[in-house]
Structure 1
Amino acid sequence: MNNETKILQDSHGRNHTYLRISLTERCNLRCTYCMPEAGIPLSPKSHLMTYEEVFDIAKIFVKHGVTKIRLTGGEPLVRKDFSVILEKLALLPVELSITSNAVIIDRFIDVLKTNDVKNINVSLDSLNRDKFTHITRRNQFDKVYNNILLLIKKGFHVKLNAVLMKGFNDDEIINFINFTKDLPISVRFIEFMPFDGNKWDMSKMVSYADIMKYVNDSFLENNVIKLQDAPNDTSKNYKIKDYKGSFAIISSVTNPFCDSCNRLRLTANGQLKNCLFSSTESDLLTTLRGGKPIEQVIKKAVFAKLKVRGGMDTLNKLQKPHLHSKNRSMITIGG
């Protein structure tokens, strides 16, 4: 592949092989860190990608080197044509995975299996029923918990994503790790990140160092095993000796993994975000609908990717609301 065709390489030499596609801005939960309390103005249906457009855009990314696609939302499973989209994407030579809140995922077991989806990330921020209801503003804990067990039983590789917030669920860190004792599951602790409307401030964040202090205070040092992280991994992976599962820490704020980032995000309304933290977007959908090639739009967007966290390269910058409040709320970016 010559330089003219390397449209997925940025100015720092990073190659982007992983595309996260948001299928919808809608969700059947209302998580406080993801959706502003007042809700969000949803894009009109005519502004969202159709399943044909999702497929057409995905084909171009795969042609130029994307090898992995993750479907996200909102909640991707609430989209009525989710199965159609999955079946279309399964025609491409790419690894497919999804991120879901698992409320209705039991209805999709067969279509996920048929289309060779093996890896499923489930967002779950508390193992306590009351806390779950508080943070999601919905009473669906039992359904989610039982569906997690169902996914494991059906042979899926399941990762639990838990966003930690000081004074709310940081006291559950060890409970989450103990959840991996008898289940082949990975729990991933995610540092609370700033997005529009989620009232982020540094005092709410539970850092990588904080998490490891909990771990080291609760387990003998020689029982905490550091695992080999995969190339381009966002997480630092560990397990407790003799536990079936593992745990990991995604430290986007205090210890970012930007140097090895290979991820791009496509929003449900067809905007390309070259970084989760970036406040700028590139409109692929309008270009596509205008009958014009989107490769040059992609190339320009990817090449302009900043080295660290959308330009917020210090903790001091992260604490300046005007720098991150121009970003979308998390629900309209895609997890």
Structure 2
Amino acid sequence: MSMFSSLSRITLAKAAIFKNAPVYIQFYVTSRCNLECEQCNIIFANSDVRECTIDEIERIADNFAEMKVAIVLLTGGEPFVRKDLPQIIHAFESRGIHVRMQTNGFASEEQIVRAIEAGGKDISISLDSLHPDRQAIINGKVENSWNRALRAMAIFMRHLPREGSFASLGCVLQPQNMADIEDVIRFGTAASWFTSLVPVHVSDNAAPRGFRSFDQTLQFRETEYATVDAIIERVRRMRTEGYLLYDSDQYLDDIKRFVRNEKTTWRSHNHDVCDSPNLYFALLPNGEFAPCCDHRMEKSYPAYAPEFPSQYKQRQFREEVARITSACSGCMYGSYPEMTVSMRFLAAKIQRVKTFITSPPDKNWPLSYEELLELAESIRSERRERPQSRRNDG
């Protein structure tokens, strides 16, 4: 059973050939969140705009269906704080647009069940460590956030179909969790969940970027570069050994460059410019177009407006976006780079086809919360050499 509708499959195929089809949209449906993670600034960056009404979201879904958008990521903030999330999911899924849900794991079982019943069958949960105390610090000193994430994993496994679904852990590589990366991947694989790495992004007040933390202590130090390199090479080997790591070789290599503030290469097949808006873009909570989570447009382009599908194709609009993207030094936010890599680099394209279509891994679901706790403890206790994380003292 395919996870993607015929509309999504056709758009993905066209994008792979022509590199100019709206494959992937990140929709920040809210800026509200029940965590204040150290590495995230989005709850503050988007707090100045209102949230779309469900009527506006229905119109966005109509426009996206007309534009033949393949995938919409519903993110935030924390999307499950919206009581109408099931209606939002249904708005897109009922029009053949694949929905990916992103969460910190604080949703109740009732909320999760309603989201799945509405059509959501693709989930990403944030998990940066197998140590509850370390995860709590990363999440802004929120106790039990690690346990809540594992409970949510168990609930999703209990209610998602084994076939035609996808589950992954989003793990942010930062100085304070370098010892945890391999453990998270091992844990995810044992639970039949992929892991996707994102290096921490840090901005400064002189040149702020929307998603990036202002905490300068999260920057990797020169003395830590070799440790990052070793982690990347280890997880690359793990993927060849059968562990469920989502990331492509091109993306892994660019993590090394990014932490050194060196030029990344994932945009090299497109004149060193990202593929927004050709392959992907973002929507602010109020439904306005944005090139990505880091940048906004000077003019307002609401995606619920009747004229948005035609505006999206106009030369003037594309030139306005290009002025922003051509000046950007680039990011490593996972989905954006990997979408470009998947469409422009053959090896990654083949890898994605295997992951989602020809050879998706079998799932050992369901696993209970208690089984996940035992699994995490078992992996934490394994006697293996681990890199040294920086202490959480700045």
Taking structure 1 as the reference length, the TM-score comes to 0.70
SS at match of 2:26: strand
Aligned counterpart, 2:35: 29
SS at match of 2:197: strand
Q: Which runs of 5+ in 1 are unaligned?
A: 1-8, 226-237, 316-335
Aligned counterpart, 1:235: none
Distance 1:171 1:54 in 2: 41
Q: Which runs of 5+ in 2 are unaligned?
A: 1-14, 203-208, 332-394
Aligned counterpart, 2:64: 61
SS at match of 1:180: helix
Aligned counterpart, 2:281: 264
Given the superposition, is the C-alpha separation of residues 52 and 163 from structure 1 closer, same or farther in structure 2, using an over 3 Å criterion?
A: same
Aligned counterpart, 2:245: 246
SS at match of 2:52: coil
Distance 2:218 2:178 in 1: 13
1:98 CA displacement? 0.9
Do 2:32 and 2:81's aligned partners in 1 also have CA atoms closer than 8 Å? Answer: yes
Distance 1:170 1:54 in 2: 39
Q: Kindly indicate whether residue 149 of structure 2 is the aligned counterpart of residue 144 of structure 1.
A: yes
SS at match of 2:180: helix
Aligned counterpart, 1:180: 188
CA RMSD across the alignment = 3.6
Do 2:31 and 2:76's aligned partners in 1 also have CA atoms closer than 8 Å? Answer: yes
- Give the counterpart letter for 2:173 in structure 1: L
Aligned counterpart, 2:116: 113
Do 2:38 and 2:215's aligned partners in 1 also have CA atoms closer than 8 Å? Answer: no
Do 1:271 and 1:282's aligned partners in 2 also have CA atoms closer than 8 Å? Answer: no
- Give the counterpart letter for 2:219 in structure 1: K
Aligned counterpart, 2:85: 82
How many residue pairs get matched? 281
Deviations along 1:78-135, one digit per CA (max 9) or x if unpaired, are 0121122222222212111111111115333322332332211112222211111112
Do 2:63 and 2:304's aligned partners in 1 also have CA atoms closer than 8 Å? Answer: no
Given the superposition, is the C-alpha separation of residues 213 and 16 from structure 1 closer, same or farther in structure 2, using an over 3 Å criterion?
A: same
Aligned counterpart, 1:199: 214
Aligned counterpart, 1:295: 309
**Once structures 1 and 2 are overlaid, which stretch shifts more, 133-142 or 100-109?**
100-109
Distance 1:255 1:34 in 2: 21
Given the superposition, is the C-alpha separation of residues 31 and 64 from structure 1 closer, same or farther in structure 2, using an over 3 Å criterion?
A: same
- Give the counterpart letter for 2:191 in structure 1: L
Do 1:278 and 1:310's aligned partners in 2 also have CA atoms closer than 8 Å? Answer: no
Do 1:25 and 1:75's aligned partners in 2 also have CA atoms closer than 8 Å? Answer: yes
List 4+ stretches of structure 1 deviating above 6 A. 206-209
SS at match of 1:246: coil
Distance 1:185 1:153 in 2: 14
Aligned counterpart, 1:283: 300
Distance 2:265 2:79 in 1: 27
Distance 1:15 1:208 in 2: 37
Given the superposition, is the C-alpha separation of residues 282 and 135 from structure 1 closer, same or farther in structure 2, using an over 3 Å criterion?
A: farther
SS at match of 2:247: strand
SS at match of 2:171: strand
Aligned counterpart, 1:319: none
Aligned counterpart, 1:49: 52
Distance 2:295 2:135 in 1: 29
Given the superposition, is the C-alpha separation of residues 116 and 84 from structure 1 closer, same or farther in structure 2, using an over 3 Å criterion?
A: closer
- Give the counterpart letter for 1:113 in structure 2: I
- Give the counterpart letter for 1:275 in structure 2: C
Given the superposition, is the C-alpha separation of residues 153 and 208 from structure 1 closer, same or farther in structure 2, using an over 3 Å criterion?
A: farther
Do 2:46 and 2:284's aligned partners in 1 also have CA atoms closer than 8 Å? Answer: no
Question: Percent same amino acid among aligned pairs?
Answer: 19
Higher-strand-fraction structure = 1
Distance 1:187 1:274 in 2: 26
Aligned counterpart, 1:169: 177
Given the superposition, is the C-alpha separation of residues 90 and 164 from structure 1 closer, same or farther in structure 2, using an over 3 Å criterion?
A: same
Deviations along 1:236-261, one digit per CA (max 9) or x if unpaired, are xx3534x4x33536557463534474
Q: Kindly indicate whether residue 166 of structure 2 is the aligned counterpart of residue 157 of structure 1.
A: yes
Distance 1:278 1:141 in 2: 31
Distance 1:82 1:295 in 2: 24
Given the superposition, is the C-alpha separation of residues 255 and 28 from structure 1 closer, same or farther in structure 2, using an over 3 Å criterion?
A: same
Do 2:89 and 2:119's aligned partners in 1 also have CA atoms closer than 8 Å? Answer: no
Given the superposition, is the C-alpha separation of residues 281 and 79 from structure 1 closer, same or farther in structure 2, using an over 3 Å criterion?
A: farther
